[in-house]
Structure 1
Amino acid sequence: MDIAHRLRAALSPYWESSALVIFTEDCTGRPQKKAGAEAIISRVSIAELDAIRTTLAAEGNSGAARSGAAWSGEAVFGGESRPLLAVSSPSNALLVLSDPQPIHAPVAGPDPHWILHYLWTLAAERIREKVADAPPSYLIESRAASAERLRVTAELVDQHSTTLETLLAALRSPALADAAARTAATDAAAKALVGLRTVSDRTTDLVEEPVASAFQRLREDLRPLMSFSGIDVQFIEPPVNGRALPGEVAHAARAIVRGLVLAMVDQQGVRRIRTQWDCDGANLLVNVRDDGPGELSAASPAVARLVQRVEALNGSMGVDVMPGWGADVAVTLPLDPPARPAADVAGWNLGERELEVLQLLAAGQRNRGIAAKLHISENTVKFHLRNLYRKLGASSRTEAMALAHSNGLR
């Protein structure tokens, strides 16, 4: 989704900035959406954005921070301290502009700050809608991206934790004479270790959501319907200590329940709808039941679309219709992605370096990133890519990535 580039273009008559970054936890696969100077946006981290959000929230009460509050000042962004302007949204998404400068029209015109808030509110709401109505393909991609990020983070935590713990053990050794240096180094290493684990926990938070809070967000989504339709929507709470839900499962489950409730409301004579979530450790179990005439059809377009969403996550949906008594819908959503098939690329006859380039390409790396990881030049990367396109029969970078994914490379 190129919403960051579109928003930056729309703001350009009113604001100058070196970079624009959107940070939204609704998109588990792509929590950052960026536009602007590559040297900045390529280095922006989740930890930096989290710190900016904390600063923004601290400037006012939590209610203001969730409804369009703004903060400007100096903060680390892209690895360096820069002037920033940060704006929140009702959906808790965050917008950050680096090196911001408002452009005032020579004659009376709209205030740049008003324009910024107006366009950002529209963009944030559009992101929320896109996620709520995401097609099955987005859910599959989001799950894969979430799982990969969690795996990489876990590997980094293991690697650096071992290094830092070894360093601590050495520096605490009584064999070292310089006690002051040892104390200072110990404090620095301990701080780094805590920081690393904090980043790991934060990344996990982005891709998982406690089942109780996910269900509470569903209640908030359906609150307007409960208030104005006259229908009694009942909620059976999930176990508080149930397994946390992957972000894309939580989003999909809420969207599926909302869709089922709306489909049930369209029937005549529905007075009560009951929705229940439970978790058996491996699956999220969703049940939605109404007391209507029992006319809900699994073949209707509205329900068929929901079945596609369920199947995109390797789940299942059963619709039990009882004429005169209502409909009972049971949904099972696995919490873990299916086992990834082994890569099958032997038929492409790739060289060792070509396979390394293809793996990094499939992981979403750009040419510069591939060159840095393999310690080769960007021109060499382009040379390997041309050979890859020829051997794969691909006409573009996107097609090569799709072929790699379909053959088990991530």
Structure 2
Amino acid sequence: MEHPNTALLEAVADLATAPLMEIAHRLREAASPYWESTALVIFTEDCTGRPQKKSGAEAIISRVSIAELDAIRATLPADADAGTWRGEAAFGGGIRQILAMTSPSNALLVLSDPQPIPGSDTGPDPHWLLNYLWRLAAERIREKVADAPPSYLMESRAASAERLRVTAELVDQHSTTLETLLAALRSPALADAAARTAATDVAAKALVGLRTLSDRTTDLVEEPVASAFQRLREDLRPLMSFSGIDVQFIEPPVNGRALPGEVAHAARALVRGLVLAMVDQEGVRRVRTQWDCDGVNLLINVRDDGPGELSASAPAMARLVQRVEALNGSMGVDVMPGWGADVAVTLPLDPPARPLAEVADWNLGEREVEVLQLLAAGQRNRGIAAKLHISENTVKFHLRNLYRKIGASSRTEAMALAHSNGLR
């Protein structure tokens, strides 16, 4: 006979091992016996390119914006019990009842139209359980981001590049429109000064909001090199305190180019891994790490004063090489017996201009090309179906086929490949 808590324990195990892109879905599934909700969104600024993880009604999650999530976070009272707040807020393009929770890592969880499901007197309290599951999910996200595996870095780079492109297009489009509107409304040739003043105020406010949104998006996918390096120092502080190893930091230029988030994450993970590998050697007393930025690459140098026995082929080092290769970087290890090891890493700041196949070489059918064009233009499945007068299931069928033909593993990668080949 199955124990009544078996399903919960299995859901906890699934959540604890969930890939980043599935974590919202796994969290909603684990909580579903205890909470009803129309949508669940996780918002964490440490996840570059994809700070939102979503599960639930497409009509809601497709319209959730960073501005809405920022406003909800600001609403949470500092003294709220376990960082939890319930009430009405703008979410998914409308005013909805929501439940919002924070975590020690500053991640945010939002459920729309939440309703606890009554259970037996001996069952877990729904509020306690949701808080427990959320903290587990938030910690899973923090660990995955800090570890920065190659798959995460490649996904983040593709998503970051695509979101910056879309944001830039929106800013250009709406800025031109609003600036034209402002010029017309400020013209002395127009009558009704009161109407002109009111319209000018509305347009000016819209412009400020748009620019703020653009800056906010940039903040999520870029990190100043100096603050990225400072976070590295904080990461290594426990090692410096308890190991007796002198870890020295050579500061990068303060005015260096901002780092894409995935490069900042990879750089910190690389240095942490290298320092740990170096201090595992006998006789290491000092490790020096230095970052520099030449405008095109982040240049990392880590050196120890050990016996020079660091092996570039060791399993721990092999994983670091995979991280570097995921960002099209390079790593060189110079071992000097009796004098130590010197590791130099170069990480390009921009995605590589990879030579891709021409669209004709993909052998796409006419309908598949139409679907890909609409996908590249930012349309979701429902919009593609409406424009082509086909069902959403047919859209999904075409997407699966074209993903296979063009070698894409995700929607974001398919969009990036389409843009690289001139499809808009």
TM-score by length of 2: 0.86
Question: Quick one: distance in 2 between partners of 1:336 and 1:153?
Answer: 17
Among 233, 241, 245, which residue is 1:231 paired with? 245
Among 377, 389, 393, which residue is 2:389 paired with? 377
Percent identical: 80
Query: Residues 291-333 of structure 1: CA distance to partner in whole angstroms, max 9, x if unpaired?
Result: 1111101111111111111111111111111112211111111
Give the conservation status (yes or no) of the 8 Å contact 2:148–2:269: no
- Tell me the SS of whatever aligns to 1:148: helix
TM-score by length of 1: 0.89
Among 120, 126, 130, which residue is 2:134 paired with? 120
Tell me the residue number matched to 1:36.
Answer: 56
Question: Quick one: distance in 1 between partners of 2:392 and 2:296?
Answer: 45
Give the conservation status (yes or no) of the 8 Å contact 1:231–1:271: yes
Q: CA deviation at 1:234?
A: 1.8
Question: Quick one: distance in 1 between partners of 2:400 and 2:26?
Answer: 32
Question: Quick one: distance in 2 between partners of 1:142 and 1:116?
Answer: 28
Q: How does 1:111-190 map onto structure 2 within 5 Å?
A: 111-190=125-204
- Tell me the SS of whatever aligns to 2:289: strand
Among 153, 173, 195, which residue is 2:209 paired with? 195
Distance 1:326 1:51, change over 3 A: same
Among 252, 255, 277, which residue is 2:269 paired with? 255
Give the conservation status (yes or no) of the 8 Å contact 1:357–1:384: no
Question: Quick one: distance in 2 between partners of 1:11 and 1:341?
Answer: 45
- Tell me the SS of whatever aligns to 1:2: helix
Q: Which moved more, 1:217-226 or 1:359-368?
A: 359-368
Q: How does 1:69-80 map onto structure 2 within 5 Å?
A: 69-80=83-94
Q: Does 1:290 align with 2:304?
A: yes
Distance 1:265 1:142, change over 3 A: same
CA RMSD of aligned residues (A): 3.0
Distance 1:155 1:311, change over 3 A: same
Q: CA deviation at 1:242?
A: 1.4
Give the conservation status (yes or no) of the 8 Å contact 2:36–2:116: yes
- Tell me the SS of whatever aligns to 1:378: coil
Tell me the residue number matched to 1:341.
Answer: 355
Question: Quick one: distance in 2 between partners of 1:393 and 1:116?
Answer: 38
Question: Quick one: distance in 1 between partners of 2:222 and 2:383?
Answer: 28
Q: Number of aligned residue pairs: give it.
A: 401
Q: CA deviation at 1:167?
A: 0.6
Q: Does 1:215 align with 2:229?
A: yes
Give the conservation status (yes or no) of the 8 Å contact 2:333–2:341: yes
Q: Does 1:50 align with 2:70?
A: yes
Question: Quick one: distance in 2 between partners of 1:147 and 1:139?
Answer: 12
Tell me the residue number matched to 1:6.
Answer: 26
Among 78, 92, 97, which residue is 1:60 paired with? 78
Distance 1:47 1:340, change over 3 A: farther
Q: CA deviation at 1:404?
A: 8.5
- Tell me the SS of whatever aligns to 2:175: helix
Question: Quick one: distance in 1 between partners of 2:245 and 2:403?
Answer: 56
Q: How does 1:360-375 map onto structure 2 within 5 Å?
A: 360-361=374-375, 366-372=380-386, 375=387
Q: How does 1:284-363 map onto structure 2 within 5 Å?
A: 284-341=298-355, 343-348=357-362, 350=364, 354-361=368-375
Letter paired with 2:40:
L
Question: Any gaps of 5 or more consecutive residues in structure 1?
Answer: none
Question: Quick one: distance in 1 between partners of 2:336 and 2:124?
Answer: 58
Question: Quick one: distance in 2 between partners of 1:335 and 1:395?
Answer: 25
Question: Quick one: distance in 1 between partners of 2:171 and 2:417?
Answer: 30
Q: CA deviation at 1:99?
A: 1.6
Letter paired with 1:247:
G
Distance 1:106 1:238, change over 3 A: same
Question: Quick one: distance in 1 between partners of 2:97 and 2:399?
Answer: 44
Q: CA deviation at 1:252?
A: 0.4
Q: Does 1:105 align with 2:125?
A: no
Query: Residues 163-182 of structure 1: CA distance to partner in whole angstroms, max 9, x if unpaired?
Result: 00111111112222222211
Letter paired with 2:142:
R
Distance 1:204 1:402, change over 3 A: closer
Q: Does 1:82 align with 2:96?
A: yes
Which ranges of 4 or more aligned residues in structure 1 deviate by more than 6 Å?
Answer: 399-407
